[in-house]
């Protein structure tokens, strides 16, 4: 199974992944230019993850990752955690997943789909994080 075992495990993975992700200058610059707030509503286990490239965080930078945020997103993406896991590994064909109802996007769908190309370099980092945390069972 490629589901996360708990919300805590999902949070652990993304708290390790996100600092590495935004450390890639090219990706970070493109995401900052998007000035978007995206929320990922994940099920099984239930978690709400928000990535904010519109507002400046306490560290003076954009790209804040938070859980259970009250910030209103421009894009909301719903999926089960196995689909979220596949997505971040680069193993999900988003358009097919949307057609099957495995992913639901609300808000600016075009903006959301435009972000997919910008984050492709992050897939290998996500896989590296899973391995570093001893979570090889989540690899697809």
* Contact of 73 with 39, CB cutoff 8 Å: yes
% the chain with pLDDT above 70: 99
The 10s digit of each residue's pLDDT in 94-131 is 889 999 999 999 998 888 778 888 898 999 999 999 99
Please report whether residue 137 resides in a domain.
no
State the pLDDT confidence band at 36, using cuts at 50, 70 and 90.
very high
Please report whether residue 79 resides in a domain.
yes
Please report whether residue 108 resides in a domain.
yes
Domain harbouring 125, CATH code: 3.30.1050.10
* pLDDT score, position 81: 97
On the question of pLDDT at 1 being above 70, the answer is no
On the question of pLDDT at 86 being above 80, the answer is yes
Please report whether residue 86 resides in a domain.
yes
Domain count, the chain: 1
* pLDDT score, position 61: 92
Please report whether residue 67 resides in a domain.
yes
% the chain with pLDDT above 90: 84
Where in the sequence is the domain holding 73, given as residue range(s)? 7-130
Please report whether residue 78 resides in a domain.
yes
What's the rounded mean pLDDT across residues 9-18?
Answer: 98
């Amino acid at each position: 199974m490629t589901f996360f075992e708990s919300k805590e495990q999902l949070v652990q993975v993304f708290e390790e992944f996100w600092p590495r992700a935004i450390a890639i200058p090219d990706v970070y610059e493109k995401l900052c230019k998007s000035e978007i707030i995206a929320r990922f509503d994940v099920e099984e286990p239930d978690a709400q993850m928000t990535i904010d490239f519109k507002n400046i965080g306490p560290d003076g930078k954009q790209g804040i990752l938070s859980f259970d945020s009250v910030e209103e997103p421009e894009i909301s993406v719903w999926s089960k955690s196995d689909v979220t896991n596949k997505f971040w590994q680069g193993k999900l064909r988003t358009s097919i997943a949307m057609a099957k109802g495995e992913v639901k996007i609300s808000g600016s769908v075009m903006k959301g789909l435009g972000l997919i190309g910008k984050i492709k370099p992050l897939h290998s980092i996500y896989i590296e994080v899973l391995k570093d945390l001893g979570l090889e069972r989540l690899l697809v």
